[in-house]
Amino acid sequence: MYSNKFGRLMFGLKGLKATSACGAFQRAAARSGFNWAAVCKQRTLWQQRSACAGMHQTGSAIHTTVDPGEVKRFQLLANKWWDEEGEFAALHAMNDLRVPFVRDNLLNAQRERHPGQPLAGLRILDVGCGGGLLSEPLGRLGATVSGIDPVEDSVRIAQQHAAHDPDLRDRVSYRACTLEELAGEGEAQLEPEPEQGVTQFDAVVASEVVEHLADLDTFAVCCSRVLKPGGSLFITTLNKTNLSYALAIVVAEQLLHIVPRGTHDWEKFISPVELERLLESNGFLVQSVQGMLYNPISGAWSWTNNTEINYALHAVKQDDKAEDGSTPPGGHNEVAHS
């Protein structure tokens, strides 16, 4: 069992401002013998090594979202996706927030209502679907969900698990491929629409994915390509702060083992401001950003105004008319969460 001390240390920060959250962490860390200065020093060394490595790279973009090291890491965990008490327990619990986040924002932009199946008629792409932890509940809400993942064993597990539920067989499908392959191969699309060339979706979901990708520019371009004008992009990820480094990597991985060691690379984390800038440069308009906190004692997630650690983002792909400043479908009145 995790101690109450570390439970308060990690994620009992709801409602705190960034400065007070950091101060609370440092005070709790000092009482537990945790060396905050050493953590910051280690993170600085990582930044310096990353900068040096970047100086020796040529070319502008990698043009692939896949990091071979990440694929290998998740390949080893593929058989554990549906163990609700295992390595992916926090992702199972996150459905309490991310499923309503997707559902409510999509419903706010929809005029038609389907009692019992609120997302009926919508096509959703789940990028980095893993074992289908998010694809399945979205399918049960009536959406037609296509899950993609470069890890073949994860896709196999997802297919096997969905096959046990008759209600999902015609709604949820999976494919072992990358986002750029889906965006670029007209002949290999999921449920192809030849008249459009590239299959287009009403929504793209990338939950706990972008912090594992090799090239975020390619990710943003491909998301725009597979989305319909006015379509929604949903992202949950980790902010790039001292606090996220200390809690998500040092504490969660090295001390409490909530997730396997090496799961996260702090250099791949991205701040909401940077992510919004990237998306807007690729034709998106960010509608909402909401902080998220995980409590390892209760195993539950909660919403917060503090985005220093985890956050959820909703953006809408603008159409040609929105380019001149008009409001995209859904406008700015969309809900942040339920």
Binding positions for S-adenosyl-L-methionine: 98, 128, 149, 207
Please enumerate, by residue number, every residue annotated as part of a binding site for Mg(2+).
208, 211-212
Query: Where would I find the beta strands (DSSP E) of the chain?
Result: 123-127, 144-149, 172-176, 201-207, 227-238, 284-295, 300-304, 310-317
- Smallest Cα–Cα separation from 66: which of 55, 58, 74? 74
Task: Annotate 198-229 with b (16+ C-beta within 10 A) or e (fewer).
Answer: bbbbbbbbbbbbbbbbbbbbbbbbbbbbbbeb
Q: Quick one: tokens of 242?
A: 């001292």
CA dihedral sign of residues 76, 80, 85, 88:
positive
Q: What does the alpha-carbon distance between residue 338 and residue 336 come to, in Å, rounded to a whole number?
A: 7
For residue 260, the number of C-alpha atoms closer than 13 Å in the C-beta half-sphere is 12
Write out the H or E segment, with its range, that includes residue 209: none
- Smallest Cα–Cα separation from 186: which of 200, 173, 197? 197
Q: What is the dihedral of CA 189, 95, 66, 259, to 10 degrees?
A: -150
Please enumerate, by residue number, every residue annotated as part of a binding site.
98, 128, 149, 207-208, 211-212
Q: Is 203 helix (H, G, I), strand (E, B) or coil?
A: strand
Q: Is 149 helix (H, G, I), strand (E, B) or coil?
A: strand
- Smallest Cα–Cα separation from 224: which of 173, 269, 184? 184
Angle subtended by helix axes 152-163 and 68-76, to nearest 10: 40
